[in-house]
Structure 1
């Protein structure tokens, strides 16, 4: 059993949990994910690792309550336990395989959309520990949905919050802010790392192709099983079939077939909506912990 040792709300329907999982914490690297099951009959839920502490033996996850299982997870409190917490899975961030000297020569900006801010954080934190200060653009629909800004400020170079409604920071899309930084403020970036909703990553890549900036994206939004066995996260990268959970979740954004990936994602969203409507009355909230 894996005990919850910390929990806090970050935004409406978004919460953070620290899980006691010493072996996972000892092996985890930025960019990887875990699979969690609340109980023996629970759904397998892949979640990107948001932070980890090998000394404390804890792994941090950030969860958005969207489907039935995540709504049930929100009812769990400090002291409760999950039956399974498997990981780390997937490939570590590509940045981990580069030499530190090469990384120090690069100007890197992360574009984080909504919940994507959580998996961005461990990468920015790791870069900071190596003496590399990356910039971060955080996108949200309103001020109350901007998450982990203060944590990011401690490890990033510059942090640029953006909100759709203009209630905080820059008013507008993250792509517009990136374009403004490059074209109006003279920022020169060698690499963009975009993590967030599929549509956001698609348009970030479209912009960075125009700007001539290499771009990495994380395809964790389409992961379902997390082992490659279900095939739900099949994507086409540079004309070849890849699995987000096994080969990724990070890929060259300019080589990802986003249209295909978004069609696949929409198919499973339809199934999730049908499932939620069908079992709304007996979702299992407050069930076995």
Structure 2
């Protein structure tokens, strides 16, 4: 059992939970994730590691309520216990000295890119962060991202915080001003698709994380199947990070709509 030590609501449907998980915290590396099962009747689902403390034995997870399991987790309280938690899983981010790196986080993807920014700075990279959401009340982890980057640019679709517009627009302006050695983008699939389109025009190597399409985390269910450089890959075991210029985004986006009806049924269950 894995006890929830602290719970915090970050936005309307976004929550942060700090969970006691000593073995996971001891081995975690930026870019990895865990698989949870809340109780005996629950499904397995993945969440990317946002932060962890090997010394204190906890991990931090950030979730957005999108289905039955994330809704159940959002309703759990401090002191409650999660039945199963397995990890860290997935190939970690490549943390080495690149030079100048631009890290783009959209929505709840900000939580996944935070530890990557921190790790890149620790090896000497100069990190520019760009984070965005639809409005100011949905923008999360601003303070943590400011501490993890050399420069932080905020965007909101409605202009209520930072620049008015999307993160991809800010990315284009940043690359016009100064070249980058690497761009990392994490967020909704459509955002990552357009981020990769922007960086292709500037010939900047680009990594994206397909963590949002994963389900069971072992490669058996096939939910996170995607096509990268013309070959079938599974985000959970081959990724979750891939070359953003090699992902077949149209195929990926069409697959994300495949189970809409079943997802609505699951959300309606008690």
Aligned to 1:212: 203
**What CA deviation, in whole Å up to 9, does each residue of 1:123-167 have, x standing for no partner?**
111122223331110010000111111011112011111000000
Q: With the length of structure 1 as denominator, give the TM-score of the two structures.
A: 0.91
Q: Which runs of 5+ in 2 are unaligned?
A: none
Q: With the length of structure 2 as denominator, give the TM-score of the two structures.
A: 0.97
Alignment partners' CA distance in 2, 1:238 and 1:74 = 37
Aligned to 2:4: 4
TM alignment of 1:11-160, pairs within 5 A? 11-93=11-93, 95-96=94-95, 98=96, 103=97, 105-160=98-153
**What CA deviation, in whole Å up to 9, does each residue of 1:175-204 have, x standing for no partner?**
111111222xx2211110000000000001
Alignment partners' CA distance in 2, 1:61 and 1:49 = 6
Preserved contact between residue 2 and residue 83 of structure 1 (Cα < 8 Å): yes
Alignment partners' CA distance in 1, 2:117 and 2:105 = 11
**What CA deviation, in whole Å up to 9, does each residue of 1:43-63 have, x standing for no partner?**
111001111110011111001
Alignment partners' CA distance in 2, 1:270 and 1:30 = 34
Does 2:160 align with 1:167?
A: yes
CA shift for structure 1 position 10: 0.8
Does 2:266 align with 1:275?
A: yes
Q: 2:213 aligns with which of 208, 222, 230?
A: 222
SS in 2 for 1:225: coil
Alignment partners' CA distance in 2, 1:135 and 1:269 = 36
**What CA deviation, in whole Å up to 9, does each residue of 1:23-71 have, x standing for no partner?**
0000110000000111111111100111111001111100111111111
Does 2:249 align with 1:258?
A: yes
Preserved contact between residue 99 and residue 126 of structure 2 (Cα < 8 Å): no
**What CA deviation, in whole Å up to 9, does each residue of 1:202-252 have, x standing for no partner?**
001111111111100001111111110001111111011110000000000
User: How many equivalent residue pairs?
Assistant: 270
Preserved contact between residue 120 and residue 195 of structure 1 (Cα < 8 Å): yes
Preserved contact between residue 129 and residue 152 of structure 2 (Cα < 8 Å): yes
Alignment partners' CA distance in 2, 1:59 and 1:177 = 31
SS in 2 for 1:254: coil
TM alignment of 1:177-192, pairs within 5 A? 177-183=170-176, 186-192=177-183
SS in 1 for 2:257: helix
Does 2:213 align with 1:236?
A: no
Preserved contact between residue 133 and residue 155 of structure 1 (Cα < 8 Å): no
Q: Which runs of 5+ in 1 are unaligned?
A: 284-289
Query: What RMSD in Å do the two structures reach over aligned CA positions?
Result: 1.1
- Whichever structure has more helix as a proportion of its residues is 1
